[in-house]
Structure 1
Amino acid sequence: MRGTLTATGIALVVLAGYTLSCIIRPFRDCWLCKGKAHHRSKRNPKLSRPCRWCRSSGKRLRFGRRLWNRARRVHRDTGVTAR
């Protein structure tokens, strides 16, 4: 019983930390171009082309922030109001 409570507490702390980091820094570097907005071709390393994953911005929206935005959009579209 005590181990389950400890594991749950640790999971909640990690989840709260990730949520806070998604609020503070919603974007991260693109995994393909590593934030440079262009990436090198594997066949010819001299060629550099715009990154299609980040659309040449070098940044991508984090997964947690994407979930948060979708939840806000669903909440707004359903017309639910807090009382």
Structure 2
Amino acid sequence: MTPIALVIASLLAVTLGYAGMCAAAPFGPCRKCRGWGFELKTDRKGQLKRGKNCRRCKATGRRIRIGRWIFNRAQRLYRDGTR
């Protein structure tokens, strides 16, 4: 196999893998709170305690994946265009 064909095959495999992941699990953990839904603080003794709710994910701990967001936007555009 030529190197270009190998690169194209690997990119296709990565793309199909990401599309499958977006279809199976459309939500991933929030990047700011790492899926906890709140910020972790330490008190004066150094013990962890719960902080404020995460504003980015609204305390759910989940965010929509970029691929799923693009898919939802394309579906909405197609649906609105064919009415």
Normalising by the smaller structure, the TM-score range is 0.7 to 0.9
Measured after TM superposition, the shift of residue 40 of structure 1 is 3.2
Letter of the 1:51 counterpart: C
Letter of the 1:31 counterpart: R
Q: Which runs of 5+ in 2 are unaligned?
A: 44-49
Q: Distance in 2 between matches of 1:23 and 1:56?
A: 23
Q: Distance in 2 between matches of 1:34 and 1:6?
A: 35
Specify the alignment match of 2:56 in structure 1. Answer: 53
User: Cα deviation per residue 1:20-53 (whole Å; 9 max; x = unaligned)?
Assistant: 0000000011111111111136xxx446101000
If each structure's strand is expressed as a fraction of its own residues, which one has the higher value?
2
Structure 1 moving runs of 4+ over 6 Å: none
Q: Distance in 1 between matches of 2:72 and 2:58?
A: 20
Specify the alignment match of 2:13 in structure 1. Answer: 13
Q: Distance in 2 between matches of 1:54 and 1:3?
A: 42
Q: TM-score, normalised by structure 2?
A: 0.84
Q: TM-score, normalised by structure 1?
A: 0.84
Q: Distance in 1 between matches of 2:11 and 2:35?
A: 30
**Identity of counterpart residues, as a percentage?**
32
